[in-house]
Amino acid sequence: MSTTILTLVGSLRAGSVNRQLAETAAAGAPEGVEVQIFDRLGEIPFYNEDIDAEGTIPETAQALRNAAAASDGLLLISPEYNGTMPAVLKNAIDWLSRPFGASPISGMPTAVIGAAFGQYGGVWAQDDARKSVGIAGARVVEEVRLAIGSSVTRYAELHPKDDAETVAQLDEALRVLADASVSAV
């Protein structure tokens, strides 16, 4: 039986280190774990309850909800923008939090990781994402903590997939999240 982990990347930039982390996680996922990256966060309009009604839900927002509903776990990969998570990631959490009480992430095991330019690796953004997704109804897997600091210099000439420490850390994060997802069933 395979465990599907939906992955949302808070950076829209094609060459971002956080996107590279997601790609590395997907390519090297442990046996029995499938990592699916949702690449359309930039197409989803800001959450607005007026358009979150049957017949008016934007296609991309519905696609996000469908992807979450078909997944066993959620992995958020976030950079840090001005001391917090990017708006695109917060917007995705807002869409996934509805309908209230019956959202596709209600009770879903969720982990937050990421990389940032600063020495602390975006821990403020990750803490904010954990808080937001937890309030949205997900079950935050607190054991998963991966904040990669100084990412711009660390990966200046090295892709995360070629960094043995990064690959091992991603593998461990996915194993813990997958175990939490299996035990949630």
Mean pLDDT score, 146-165:
94
Report which residue type is found at 40. Answer: R
Q: What is the pLDDT of residues 8-33, one digit of tens each?
A: 999 999 899 999 999 999 999 999 99
CA 78 remoteness from chain centre: 7
Residue 87 has pLDDT above 80, yes or no: yes
Pick the CATH number of 3-184 from 3.40.50.360, 2.30.110.10, 3.40.718.10, 1.20.1440.230: 3.40.50.360
Q: What is the pLDDT of residues 59-83, one digit of tens each?
A: 999 999 999 999 999 999 999 999 9
CA 121 remoteness from chain centre: 15
* The model scores a pTM over 0.85: yes
Which residues are registered as beta bridge partners of 37?
7
Ranges of each domain in the chain: 3-184
How high is the pLDDT of residue 185? Answer: 59
Q: Which positions ≥6 away from 32 have C-beta within 8 Å?
A: 1, 2, 3, 178
Average pLDDT value over all residues in the chain: 95
* CA R_g for the chain: 15
Q: What is the pLDDT of residues 120-146, one digit of tens each?
A: 889 999 999 999 999 999 999 999 999
